[in-house]
Amino acid sequence: MPRLTAKDLTIEEKLKLVIGGDHWGTNTLDGKVRYVKMVDGPIGRRLVVSEDKQGRETILPSIAYPCAQALSHAWSEDFAYELGKAIANDMIDVNADILLGPAVNIKRTPLCGRNFEYYSEDPLLSGNLAAAYIKGAQDQHIGTSLKHFCANNIEYARHYCSSNLDERTLREIYLKQFEIAIKESNPWTLMCSYNKVNGTWMSEHTELYKFLREEFKYDGTVVSDWNSVHDAVRTMNSGLDLIMPFKDIDYKRLKEGYEAGEISDDALDSAANNVLNLIYKCEDASKLRKRTMSIKSRKNLAYKLAQNGIVLLKNNNVLPLSNERLVVTGAPVLRYKAGNGSSKVTLKEPAMTLDVALQNANFDCIYKETTRYVPNGQGMMCGTDVTCREELLTRDAVVIAVGNENEFESGDRETIKLCRAEEDAIRHLSGLGKKVIVVLYAGAPVDMSSWIGCVDAVVFASFGGQYQNEAVVDVLTGKFNPCGHLTESFPTCLEDVPAEQAYRDVENFDYDEGLLVGYRYYTTSNYPVLYPFGYGLSYSRFAYSNMDVKVQNDMVKVSFTITNTSDVDGIDIPQIYVGPLSCEPDRPIRELKGYARVAVKKNSSKKVTVDIPMDRLQYFSINTNKWEPCKGKLTFMLGKNSRDIIIEKDIVLA
Ligand code: BGC
């Protein structure tokens, strides 16, 4: 069949094409064009197979990979690529076309209910991981949807609020990761967010769509987030291409608007052409699709990513375990822990519980209830067994599993503390004179101030997907040497978070902290944190030496030596921070500009070179209102994390 463009279609056909054909895909114009089937991600495939009258969905089970936060802890584009590839294979299994992910919003505040779906508080890392994930999926001929464009950093008021921010902040922090992912991987679609930016709904933000097309040269299809459209006519005129999902009211408004002359033919044709392009892209792609990973290799990947996503936060020489007699306790021992919402994957088979995973690793391990999950949303409760002192005293170590129940889409956390019962249980159990190891299941930072001093070790499991407990046990036992590093700051308490000091009501969120988000703020103001951005322990020890910084053409080459001074093979994630990029006001003193993931054998050294393209050192000037190259003296810092800088070198840029 010859390929159609907008000029081959009737007005009615064009109007039908620019709005979904149903809840999850495009209109086929009575068989004239192919259906494009979209399925939620980004943590795994979430295919809704049916919905009852009460809106209860039936989801086809799939592999639950670690959440985006866990993936990001590995600081590995290779892993992000593999994950995109694996989920694309899951999509091919059900003849789907577009995976609705990755999600790249910046973690401005740890309260945001969807932070587990996002990568980082840093745009470079977020952009690089997203670009690799997109490539991984699209190389398998499955399209992606880069979301949520943009400045959607809180959930509870996402349908009402305006994120108000200046241009420098918008470009450097909240658009940069979109720019990187678009320029490097060209996602087939891009999804707008629900919120307003500077007073205009993102589903009708002409200015930002123009910017997207002209500055980022984006040539894919812009899709609305589901039900984010307030006025279908304004949306069409703004440059958005596809309104999702189909709603009668939006279609009527489009039709009436067009008849009343409110929608220009140019706008309608451009959107219809962009939808047709997507349809044909999917048609071509569908002929090339074939499974490239067996189910087993996808599951192996889920397991490997779960191991690499764990961050060891504290270890007073109690880990790895040897042959201690253990008691495990806490509600998450028995429950699969994950964030909730449109990214929640339904498991095929139940995930292994922590006690069983420990027993499988040949530990003498019993389970005792001290906190209990209450499924009505009230959180945890102290159980009756908190006083089972005698039995606990016969054990060598207590493993306490705790975590967040309050991470989900469309709502935010009210606190970053654990619930009272869990905090009480940790404090109570640490009074028994046994080794105390806390395993924390969460997709966002936790305020540990009331208990961190009483425990010997903290293993941050993140939401590790269906193999999270096997992976946790591998870290506890040393079968896997932990190597995850945080990609967001863990503040001491919520009050320390810069975004929490900024003005906000239900309708207006002022991004007063500007560029000083996360570690950019804590390092610049020398403010203490519980665990800094970039932090993570290992069972190995690493030392850095011989740092050198050279400019070669358009590249700054930072080289150094890593020595593993321990008796254990390990993986390190050295980070390069640079700053300040200019002396303009309110700039961070250092910003992440490069990193590496390096395996170093015990008692040996490796030479590493990190390439930093010159254009990564540009800054958006508030004086000239454009990107400017960095000039003059610039400090390159080689660090173990954003606070622990080991060697610094200055260079002068002409
Ligand atoms: C979410 C998107 C998701 C879409 C479809 C929206 O509520 O914000 O991330 O892809 O629903 O489920």
CA 100 to ligand 1: nearest atom: 10
User: Please, which pLDDT band fits residue 563 given cuts at 50, 70 and 90?
Assistant: very high
CA 194 to ligand 1: nearest atom: 8
Ligand 1 centre distance from Cα of residue 229 (Å): 13
Could you read off the pLDDT of 601-626 as tens digits, one per residue?
A: 999 999 999 999 999 999 999 999 99
Q: Is 139 a catalytic residue?
A: no
Q: What is the structure's pLDDT at 26? A: 98
Cβ atoms 239, 263 nearer than 8 A? no
Measured CA to CA, the distance from residue 446 to residue 416 in angstroms comes to 5
Ligand 1 centre distance from Cα of residue 101 (Å): 9
Q: What is the structure's pLDDT at 369? A: 87
Q: Are strands 604-613 and 555-564 parallel, antiparallel or unpaired?
A: antiparallel
Ligand 1 centre distance from Cα of residue 248 (Å): 19
What ranges in 437-550 are assigned the alpha helix state H? Answer: 468-477, 498-501, 519-524
Substitution site in 189, 225, 242, 343 for ligand 1 pocket (most atoms within 8 Å of beta carbon):
225
Measured CA to CA, the distance from residue 216 to residue 238 in angstroms comes to 17
List CB contacts of 46: < 8 A, sequence separation 6 or more: 39, 40, 59, 62, 342, 343, 344, 345, 346
List CB contacts of 260: < 8 A, sequence separation 6 or more: none
Cβ atoms 146, 557 nearer than 8 A? no
Output the six-digit token pair for 421: 């019962």
Does 14 score more than 70 pLDDT? yes
User: Please, which pLDDT band fits residue 381 given cuts at 50, 70 and 90?
Assistant: low
Mean pLDDT along residues 341-362: 96
Secondary structure of residue 182 in the 3-state scheme? helix
Ligand 1 centre distance from Cα of residue 193 (Å): 9
Determine which residue's CA is closest to atom 5 belonging to ligand 1: 226
What ranges in 104-160 are assigned the alpha helix state H? Answer: 123-138
Q: What is the structure's pLDDT at 380? A: 65
Angle at 112 between CA 109 and CA 116, to 5 degrees: 105
Could you read off the pLDDT of 79-110 as tens digits, one per residue?
A: 999 999 999 999 999 999 999 999 999 999 99
Q: What is the structure's pLDDT at 372? A: 79
Mean pLDDT along residues 525-547: 98
Helix (DSSP H) and strand (DSSP E) numbers for the chain? 17, 30
> Quick one: 130 exposed, middle or buried, by C-beta within 10 A (0-12, 13-18, 19+)?
buried
Determine which residue's CA is closest to atom 7 belonging to ligand 1: 226
List CB contacts of 48: < 8 A, sequence separation 6 or more: 23, 24, 40, 57, 58, 59
DSSP-assigned beta bridge partners for residue 58: 50
Lowest mean pLDDT among 234-243, 389-398, 433-442: 389-398
CA 158 to ligand 1: nearest atom: 8
Measured CA to CA, the distance from residue 380 to residue 417 in angstroms comes to 13
Q: Are strands 645-653 and 570-572 parallel, antiparallel or unpaired?
A: unpaired
Q: Nearest CA to 73 among 120, 35, 31?
A: 120
Q: Measure the CA dihedral 181/182/185/186, to 10°.
A: 150
Does 390 score more than 90 pLDDT? no
| Torsions phi, psi for 81 (to 5 deg) | -60, -45
Q: What is the structure's pLDDT at 197? A: 98
Mean pLDDT along residues 132-146: 98
Substitution site in 156, 192, 342 for ligand 1 pocket (most atoms within 8 Å of beta carbon):
342
Give the residues surrounding ligand 1 with Cβ less than 6 Å away. Answer: 40, 100, 147, 225-226, 342
Residue 561: in which H helix or E strand, if any? Answer: strand 555-564
Measured CA to CA, the distance from residue 372 to residue 389 in angstroms comes to 18
Q: Measure the CA dihedral 129/594/441/62, to 10°.
A: 20
Placement of tokens 């509870």 in the chain: 156
Residue 333: in which H helix or E strand, if any? Answer: none
List CB contacts of 553: < 8 A, sequence separation 6 or more: none
Report the b/e string of 456-492 with b at 16+ CB within 10 A: bbbbbbbbbbbbbbbbbbbbbbeebbbbbbbbbbbbb
Percent of the chain whose predicted confidence (pLDDT) is above 70: 98
Which residue in the list 225, 424, 447, 456 is annotated as catalytic? 225
CA dihedral sign of residues 283, 285, 289, 295: negative
Mean pLDDT along residues 445-468: 98
Q: What is the structure's pLDDT at 371? A: 83
Q: What is the structure's pLDDT at 57? A: 93
Substitution site in 114, 159, 229, 409 for ligand 1 pocket (most atoms within 8 Å of beta carbon):
409
Determine which residue's CA is closest to atom 11 belonging to ligand 1: 226
User: Please, which pLDDT band fits residue 374 given cuts at 50, 70 and 90?
Assistant: confident
Could you read off the pLDDT of 172-223 as tens digits, one per residue?
A: 999 999 999 999 999 999 999 999 999 999 999 999 999 999 999 999 999 9
Measured CA to CA, the distance from residue 406 to residue 415 in angstroms comes to 9
Does 384 score more than 70 pLDDT? no
List of E strands, 292-434: 311-315, 326-329, 365-368, 371-374, 379-382, 397-403
Percent of the chain whose predicted confidence (pLDDT) is above 90: 93
User: Please, which pLDDT band fits residue 385 given cuts at 50, 70 and 90?
Assistant: low
Cβ atoms 162, 196 nearer than 8 A? yes
Residue 549: in which H helix or E strand, if any? Answer: strand 542-552
Determine which residue's CA is closest to atom 9 belonging to ligand 1: 342
User: Please, which pLDDT band fits residue 383 given cuts at 50, 70 and 90?
Assistant: low
**CA distances to 73, 218, 229, 630 from 178, in Å:** 20, 10, 21, 22
Output the six-digit token pair for 412: 């935010």
Could you read off the pLDDT of 112-135 as tens digits, one per residue?
A: 999 999 999 999 999 999 999 999
- Determine the straight-line distance between the first and last CA of the chain, rounded to whole angstroms: 58
Measured CA to CA, the distance from residue 244 to residue 222 in angstroms comes to 10
pTM for this predicted structure: 0.98
Does 543 score more than 80 pLDDT? yes
Cβ atoms 612, 620 nearer than 8 A? no
Ligand 1 centre distance from Cα of residue 149 (Å): 12
Output the six-digit token pair for 175: 């658009």
List CB contacts of 271: < 8 A, sequence separation 6 or more: 17, 18, 236, 240, 241, 242
Ligand 1 centre distance from Cα of residue 225 (Å): 6
Measured CA to CA, the distance from residue 262 to residue 259 in angstroms comes to 7
What's the whole-number average pLDDT of the chain?
Answer: 96
Phi-psi region of 261 (alpha: psi -120 to 50; beta: other; left: phi over 0): left
Mean pLDDT along residues 282-306: 98
Q: Nearest CA to 240 among 18, 6, 5?
A: 18
Does 639 score more than 60 pLDDT? yes
- In residues, how long is the chain? 654
Determine which residue's CA is closest to atom 3 belonging to ligand 1: 342
CA dihedral sign of residues 135, 137, 142, 145: negative
